[in-house]
């Protein structure tokens, strides 16, 4: 059950990060843009949940968990300084990959969608 929640959060968080790429999709890009902009109001919540679930599932499901952690860190980059003790190193890590945030988001959304749709 927790994995399905992780996949859904990965899709939503990934779409928020990949907004500029999604806008370029013919036919559905404009409609998706409106939905993603509405979801963006909750980006801090999605980022935190994606990061936490990624950490919780890291031992058993490595690939989606690592992607979830990276997506969550990039979404939370402006708030990582608030984390006592580890906020600085986490922000430095997130800043390293942030130039690729749209592609990281797209990868997260695709991975989440594929894993959600694969029958288990």
Q: Rounded CA gap, 21 and 33, in Å?
A: 10
Q: Which residues span the domain enclosing 69?
A: 2-117
Record the pTM. Answer: 0.88
pLDDT > 80? residue 69 = yes
Q: How many domains does the chain have?
A: 1
Supply the pLDDT for residue 116: 93
How confident is the model over 92-109, as pLDDT tens digits? 888 888 889 999 999 999
- Contact present, 91 and 80 (Cβ < 8 Å): yes
How confident is the model over 18-60, as pLDDT tens digits? 999 988 888 887 888 889 999 999 999 999 999 999 999 999 8
- Contact present, 19 and 36 (Cβ < 8 Å): yes
Query: Would you list the DSSP string of 88-99?
Result: HHHHHHHHHHGG
């Amino acid at each position: 059950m927790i994995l399905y929640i992780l996949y859904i959060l990965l899709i939503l968080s990934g779409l928020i990060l990949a907004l500029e790429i999604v806008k370029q999709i013919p036919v559905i890009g404009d409609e998706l843009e409106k939905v993603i902009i509405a979801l963006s109001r909750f980006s801090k919540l999605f980022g935190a949940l994606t990061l936490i679930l990624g950490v919780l599932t890291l031992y058993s499901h490595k690939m989606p968990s690592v992607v979830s952690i990276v997506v969550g860190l990039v979404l939370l980059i402006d708030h990582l300084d608030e984390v006592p003790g580890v906020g600085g190193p986490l922000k430095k890590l997130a800043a390293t990959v942030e130039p690729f945030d749209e592609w990281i988001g797209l990868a997260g959304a695709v991975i989440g969608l594929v894993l959600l749709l694969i029958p288990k």
